[in-house]
Amino acid sequence: MLEMIDLARGELVSPFANDRHAPLLEQLAHELTERYWSELVWVTGDVPAGAFHRVCNELERLRILFAQLASEKIESAA
């Protein structure tokens, strides 16, 4: 799913499929496309721009969040 989204986004943006959190983003991409894209997308291959950007924006938000969480030092109570 991420590779298809990356292809449609073009080369000017950082690809989701190359992200270190790609496996998790892939799972979320499936959930987001199921939520925001109609069944016709899978028949016609035509994704309305608003629905496409909604999924991309959410994936980008999550990618940033995962990167921030991964870089935070977690204090142990022990």
d(CA 55, CA 66): 16
3-state secondary structure string, 29-72? HHHHHHHHCCCHHHHHCCCCHHHHHHHHHHHHHHHHHHHHHHHC
Asked if the model's pLDDT at residue 10 lies above 60, the reply is yes
Domain limits, the chain: 1-8+18-58
pLDDT tens, position by position, 30-75: 999 999 999 988 899 899 999 999 999 999 999 999 999 988 665 5
